[in-house]
Amino acid sequence: MSQLTQSAAWAALEQHQKSIAPQHMRDWFKADPQRAERMRLSAAGLTLDYSKNRANDETLSLLMDLAKQQGLNKLRVAMFSGETINNTEQRAVLHTALRANPSDSAWQPQADKIEAVQASLEKMRDFVEQVRAGQWHGYTGKAITDVVSIGIGGSFLGPKMASESLKPYWHESLSVHYVANVDGTAIADKLKGLDPETTLFVTSSKSFGTQETLANTLSARAWFYESGAGKQDVAKHFVAVTSNIKAATEFGIDENNLFPMWDWVGGRYSMWSAIGMPIALLIGFERFEEILKGAEAMDTHFMEAPIEQNMPVLMAMLGVWYANFFDSHAHVILSYDHYLRALPGYLQQLDMESNGKNVTRSGELVDYHTGPVIWGGEGTNGQHAYHQLLHQGTRVIPADFIMPLKSHNPIGEHHDMLASNCFGQTQALMQGKTLAEAQAELAGSQHSPEQLSLLAKHKVMPGNKPSNTILMERVTPYTLGALIALYEHRTFVQGVVWELNSFDQWGVELGKQLGNSVLSAIRDTHAEVELDASTEYLVNSFRQAKPQTLG
Ligand SMILES: O=P(O)(O)OC[C@H]1O[C@](O)(CO)[C@@H](O)[C@@H]1O
């Protein structure tokens, strides 16, 4: 058994779970009128209501004991002070420096990094302002009308999610498109209808070695040349964000068109850097800076608030409570805002690539569950699809409801209806419906007694299903920045408890390696590639279907 599962804090929680499990939140709310008020917290423009959780004051206190036991305070300081907490890659983890206030003396020890960040932001500002003002001209002298952002994973999901979330702030005549997948359909579809004379490509790749991104950039360049443009025109249409300057320049990107990234920023934590350029192009640089300010406010809260009153810590520890003590395997994110519909997909990478691990920082196999499956979608759509499983399924699936109090599109009663659905769902999950309530509801109906009894059983909802609700005034650059930073820190805290390195991603490497060797087998039948019988069959089927000239 691991030290963690043998520890005093873990044992206390296991013991406590036995007394909590039979209790119902419905009764707690009845017995304690102060519960909702006590279990509410505001920071950085966000309010978290965590009262609809299967936790009482003792639970929270024991969870905080676990956080302390696992060294949260020390590791939190270690992250912000630039220690190499990404121990498998020997890297610091300083995405927080990307949104730091440069005049904050706490950042003095990282002055070189802060300086580099500020220089990059200035270069970004200059570029963004030129493009948005129509002063960056394509090779025939026309202003840029379309930007195609090419990148994948962390070099795609954050910018795409933030762009969609902030649609009300978009430039009226500049469009941004995203291409991630290596599937040729993705880029072919995007390029249809675009004009090479007025299209700018931003290649975002920290490593500048990602197969999908390089293939898409090459195809974009081929499309550009087909329009009659020459090599000398590339600099007007291709820029890149990368930490691998050498690879990018060898690839043909003009050195002046390179924006930096650093090895102390993980891909999935990078939308605050020049990786966020497409966002800034869409909403303007000043609004991009507001995103950073929102995140910085959440960073300050995370660093300074006592852990018992700390939003990311509370959310993280409640997640640990369900994952490790209620055998919950999933966590659902429900955005009650159409503009935030890409958030669950973004959080999937943030959380699952960070905490989807089975060995500790020191390489020991864990004997407890780590990161759950993160999924979700847009409310109210999900209510007519997968919420059935949340209400009556057999597993505990904690939910985060995210609800802006004001809409950017206040049409008729739509926002009232949206909010009432959101709040109603949290209530239904918590309260459920008893057999007596179901029977009372059916009383007076035309059904036979047998049918009534059957129906009543099916209408019973156990309730006691946990949820958090996050409110904000409106989805703005500031509140979005705070929200994303909240989830970043939540992920970090859970990684601390589970003793993981949340900042590497070795698991995705094997897929990349094998994908490349399979590609050699597809290209050349004589390639010496070891394939199992199933994969060999798949490769052969694929080769047989290929047009002869390519075979
Ligand atoms: O920015 P890059 O280097 O192209 O990497 C893209 C993505 O690929 C991954 O390494 C996973 O394959 C992610 O962690 C990363 O965000």
- Same structural domain for residues 173 and 221? yes
CB proximity list for 330: less than 8 A, separation 6 or greater:
372, 373, 374, 375, 395, 397
Contact at 8 Å (CB) between 212 and 151? no
pLDDT score, position 13: 98
CA 233 – CA 254 distance, rounded (Å): 10
- Same structural domain for residues 335 and 482? yes
- Same structural domain for residues 342 and 468? yes
Q: Which residue ranges have their beta carbon within 6 Å of ligand 1?
A: 152-155, 205-207, 210, 213, 267-268, 353, 505, 508
Give distance in angstroms: CA of 205 to centre of ligand 1: 7
Probe ligand 1: pick from 508, 509, 510, 516, max atoms within 8 Å of CB? 508
Residue 265 lies in a domain: yes
284: left (phi over 0), alpha (psi -120 to 50) or beta: left
Residue 333 lies in a domain: yes
CA 73 – CA 70 distance, rounded (Å): 9
- Same structural domain for residues 109 and 224? yes
CA 79 – CA 101 distance, rounded (Å): 17
- Same structural domain for residues 220 and 355? no
Instruction: Provide the pLDDT confidence category of residue 549 given band limits of 50, 70 and 90.
Output: low
**Element spanning 404, H or E:** strand 399-404
Give distance in angstroms: CA of 280 to centre of ligand 1: 21
Model pLDDT for residues 166-220, shown as the tens digit of each residue: 999 999 999 999 999 999 999 999 999 999 999 999 999 999 999 999 999 999 9
Dig out the tokens for 32 from the structure.
Answer: 């304690």
Nearest in space to 169 (alpha carbons), one of 377, 479, 390, 511: 479
pLDDT score, position 251: 87
Contact at 8 Å (CB) between 298 and 482? yes
Model pLDDT for residues 67-88, shown as the tens digit of each residue: 999 999 999 999 999 999 999 9
When divided into structural domains, the chain yields a total of: 3
pTM score: 0.97
Q: Interhelix angle for 72-80 vs 57-69, to 10°?
A: 60
Give distance in angstroms: CA of 511 to centre of ligand 1: 13
Q: Would residue 512 show up in a list of annotated catalytic residues for this protein? A: yes
- Same structural domain for residues 362 and 465? yes
Strand partners, 242: 260
Rounded to the nearest 5 degrees, what angle is found at the Cα of 195, between the Cα atoms of 192 and 199?
Answer: 105
Q: What are phi and psi of 175, to 5 degrees?
A: -110, 145
Contact at 8 Å (CB) between 90 and 329? no
104: left (phi over 0), alpha (psi -120 to 50) or beta: beta
208: left (phi over 0), alpha (psi -120 to 50) or beta: left
CB proximity list for 278: less than 8 A, separation 6 or greater:
147, 149, 159, 163, 176, 178, 202, 204
Residue 81 lies in a domain: no
Q: Which one from 197, 212, 290, 353 is the annotated catalytic residue?
A: 353
CA atoms within 13 A on the CB side of 124: 28
CA atoms within 13 A on the CB side of 13: 27
Residue 440 lies in a domain: no
- Same structural domain for residues 471 and 510? no
Q: Residue 162 class from Cβ within 10 Å (0-12 exposed, 13-18 middle, 19+ buried)? A: buried
Give distance in angstroms: CA of 42 to centre of ligand 1: 33
Mean pLDDT on 136-165: 98
Give distance in angstroms: CA of 237 to centre of ligand 1: 23
Residue nearest to atom 7 of ligand 1 (CA): 153
- Same structural domain for residues 236 and 384? no
Q: Would residue 457 show up in a list of annotated catalytic residues for this protein? A: no
pLDDT score, position 550: 45
Please name the residue that has the structure tokens 């409110």.
Answer: 471
How many CB atoms neighbour CB 21 within 10 A?
11
Residue 228 lies in a domain: yes
CA dihedral of residues 224, 230, 232, 233 (deg, nearest 10)? -30
What's the chain's average pLDDT?
Answer: 96
Atom of ligand 1 nearest to the CA of 275: 1
Q: Which one from 18, 231, 246, 384 is the annotated catalytic residue?
A: 384
Residue nearest to atom 4 of ligand 1 (CA): 205
**Helical H runs in 105-165?**
111-132, 157-165
Residue 416 lies in a domain: no
CA 371 – CA 411 distance, rounded (Å): 39
- Same structural domain for residues 47 and 126? no
Probe ligand 1: pick from 208, 505, 510, 514, max atoms within 8 Å of CB? 505
- Same structural domain for residues 220 and 109? yes
pLDDT score, position 525: 80
Q: Give exposure, 274-283, as e/b (b: 16+ Cβ within 10 Å).
A: bbbbbbbbbb
Give distance in angstroms: CA of 90 to centre of ligand 1: 17
Model pLDDT for residues 244-292, shown as the tens digit of each residue: 999 999 988 999 999 999 999 999 999 999 999 999 999 999 999 999 9
- Same structural domain for residues 332 and 235? no
Contact at 8 Å (CB) between 203 and 213? yes
Atom of ligand 1 nearest to the CA of 505: 14
Give distance in angstroms: CA of 268 to centre of ligand 1: 8
Residue 437 lies in a domain: no
Which among 239, 260, 288 is the end of a domain? 288
Which among 288, 322, 346 is the end of a domain? 288
Return the sign of the alpha-carbon dihedral for residues 279, 284, 290, 296.
Answer: positive
Q: Provide the domain limits for residue 251.
A: 104-288
Q: Interhelix angle for 507-523 vs 211-226, to 10°?
A: 50
551 has a pLDDT exceeding 80: no
Residue nearest to atom 8 of ligand 1 (CA): 153
- Same structural domain for residues 65 and 131? no
Residue 355 lies in a domain: yes
- Find the CATH number of the domain harbouring 272: 3.40.50.10490
Model pLDDT for residues 370-391, shown as the tens digit of each residue: 999 999 999 999 999 999 999 9
Q: Max Cα separation, the chain?
A: 83
Probe ligand 1: pick from 156, 207, 346, max atoms within 8 Å of CB? 207
